């Protein structure tokens, strides 16, 4: 479905916005509910396509899940209670579903096949296969283990000491889930901090897990019973970042963003925005189930270009394209490096930024691991923008069209449903 996005010249972003539930925490809440002992309740679960794939996977594996009002009720069958299935587990477009489920299923001592759509089949899977193999998992991928489909066979797992080549929440989570089945200790060393929702949730549930100086130590015990729990999902910061960007860039805007996840491993984008001169106030902070959450008051700001500290990259990997938008309106040069991970997301996001900027006659220097933009620049041209079925790039292009002078046509706008089904409705509600 192609969609024309109008420019919002002479309009502002005003009012309040509550972002959709956090996608990362939603996936993990489903997983630990399914392998917990007894009934768990998940409030404010994200019901976008990616999380539905995780729900569908567990239903296929014999877990009873029902919905009552705004709660998902999951009847956990314990660590070893997942059924075998002769059907392929379809992960769709969700890398989180595939990588985390792989870590969990290698310990079930059964045969499984996980596959995904054409986009997921191009995303790297060797990064999880390598450490899982070192744990004695019998797992195989396509094309020398580079890609899915992934085939899992019975095996007896052992603990591991593993140094991650690249900071990755999905890889370390896959290892931690596999270690549930070793009755041993695993130690994971990260080069830099990355999202720690799995570690926080495991600590909240009572697992013997310790995190210090980017080193995660987890002693598993087969006698440990995962308690049933009440999970309350905060708003997703990565989705809120699109609205933060719009409010910062459109003159006269002021937006209150409510109940958003403020986990320090997720908000590198806020640090960058503040260094660029963005006017953002954090209010009503509170800690719930180990996760910091609160409200953000965002106002239109005059921005300046900066060189982004590479240590922040793993803390804002999904928000980096939005820095390119801010750079277009900022005074001076904005530069990002060490972001090569953008090349292997749902699409090559650096290539996608370059393609769109070239179509719009915008000046940008693209590196293998980042970009350099000299601002401010006017977005005068009109273009047909192709996100290559990447939901985040489609939302990025929507913002690009909104702040332009002539709008743009967005190809395959429906791909946004993977993570934010009512995105356009929510955008329209705050434009006035």
Separation CA 150–CA 47 (nearest Å): 25
- Is residue 318 annotated as part of the catalytic site, yes or no? yes
Q: How many residues does the chain have?
A: 432
Sheet holding 370-375, edge to edge: 332-336, 370-375, 365-367
Separation CA 421–CA 245 (nearest Å): 19
Closest CA to 38 of 80, 82, 79, 78: 78
From 196, 295, 318, 386, the catalytic residue: 318
| CATH topology (fold) of 23-232 | UDP-n-acetylglucosamine1-carboxyvinyl-transferase; Chain (3.65.10)
Q: What is the pLDDT of residues 143-188, one digit of tens each?
A: 999 999 999 999 999 999 999 999 999 999 999 999 999 999 999 9
The vertex-308 CA angle with 245 and 126, nearest 5°, equals 95
The sign of the CA dihedral 207, 210, 215, 219 is negative
pLDDT at 225: 86
**pLDDT per residue rounded down to tens, the chain (432 residues):** 899 999 988 899 999 999 999 999 999 999 999 999 999 999 999 999 999 999 999 999 999 999 998 899 999 999 999 999 999 999 999 999 999 999 999 999 999 999 999 999 999 999 999 999 999 999 999 999 999 999 999 999 999 999 999 999 999 999 999 999 999 999 999 999 999 999 999 999 999 999 999 999 999 987 888 888 899 999 999 999 999 999 999 999 999 999 999 999 999 999 999 999 999 999 999 999 999 999 999 999 999 999 999 999 999 999 999 999 999 999 999 999 999 999 999 999 999 999 999 999 999 999 999 999 999 999 988 899 999 999 999 999 999 999 999 999 999 999 999 999 899 999 999 999
Q: Catalogue the E-assigned strands of 3-63.
A: 3-5, 14-17, 37-43
Separation CA 58–CA 105 (nearest Å): 11
Separation CA 395–CA 430 (nearest Å): 15
**C-alpha separations of 415 from 20, 50, 143, 345, 400 in Å:** 16, 11, 27, 14, 17
The answer to whether residues 245 and 396 touch, using CB atoms and an 8 Å cutoff, is no
| CATH topology (fold) of 3-21+234-430 | UDP-n-acetylglucosamine1-carboxyvinyl-transferase; Chain (3.65.10)
CATH 3.65.10.10 range(s) for the chain read 3-21+234-430, 23-232
């Amino acid at each position: 479905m192609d969609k024309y996005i109008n420019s919002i010249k002479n309009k502002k972003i005003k009012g309040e916005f509550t972002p959709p539930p956090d996608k990362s925490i939603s996936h993990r809440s489903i997983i630990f509910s399914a392998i917990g002992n007894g009934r768990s309740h998940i409030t404010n679960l994200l019901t976008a396509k990616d999380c539905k794939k995780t729900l569908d996977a567990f239903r296929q594996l014999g877990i009873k899940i029902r919905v009552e009002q705004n709660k998902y009720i999951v009847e956990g069958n314990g660590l070893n209670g997942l059924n075998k299935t002769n059907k392929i587990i379809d992960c769709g477009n969700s890398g989180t579903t595939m990588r985390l489920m792989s870590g969990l299923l290698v310990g079930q001592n059964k045969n499984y096949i996980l596959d995904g759509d054409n986009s997921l089949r191009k995303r790297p899977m060797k990064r999880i296969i390598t450490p899982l193999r070192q744990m004695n998992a019998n797992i195989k991928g396509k094309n020398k283990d580079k890609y899915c489909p992934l085939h899992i066979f019975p095996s007896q797992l052992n603990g591991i000491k593993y140094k991650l080549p690249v900071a990755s929440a999905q890889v370390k989570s896959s290892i931690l889930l596999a270690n549930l089945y070793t009755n041993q200790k695993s130690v994971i060393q990260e080069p830099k901090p990355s999202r720690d929702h799995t570690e926080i949730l495991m600590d909240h549930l009572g697992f013997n897990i310790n995190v210090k100086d980017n080193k995660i130590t987890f002693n598993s015990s087969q006698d440990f019973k995962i308690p049933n729990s009440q999970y309350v999902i905060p708003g997703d910061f990565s989705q809120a970042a699109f609205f933060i960007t719009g409010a910062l860039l459109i003159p006269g805007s002021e937006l209150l963003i409510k109940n958003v996840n403020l986990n320090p491993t997720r908000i590198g984008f806020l640090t960058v925005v503040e260094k660029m001169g963005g006017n953002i106030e954090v209010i009503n902070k509170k800690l719930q189930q180990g996760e910091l959450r609160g409200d953000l008051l965002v106002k239109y700001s005059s921005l300046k270009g900066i060189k982004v500290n590479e240590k922040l990259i793993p803390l804002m990997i999904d928000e980096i394209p939005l820095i390119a938008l801010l750079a277009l309106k900022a005074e001076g040069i904005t530069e990002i490096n060490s972001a090569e991970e953008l090349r292997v997301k749902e699409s090559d996001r650096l290539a996608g930024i370059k393609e769109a900027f070239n179509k719009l006659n915008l000046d940008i220097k693209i590196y293998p691991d980042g970009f350099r933009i000299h601002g401010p620049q006017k977005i005068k041209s009109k273009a047909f923008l192709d996100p290559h079925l990447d939901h985040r790039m489609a939302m990025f292009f929507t913002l690009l069209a909104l702040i332009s002078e002539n709008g743009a046509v967005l190809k395959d706008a429906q791909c946004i449903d993977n993570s934010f089904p009512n995105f356009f409705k929510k955008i329209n509600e705050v434009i006035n």
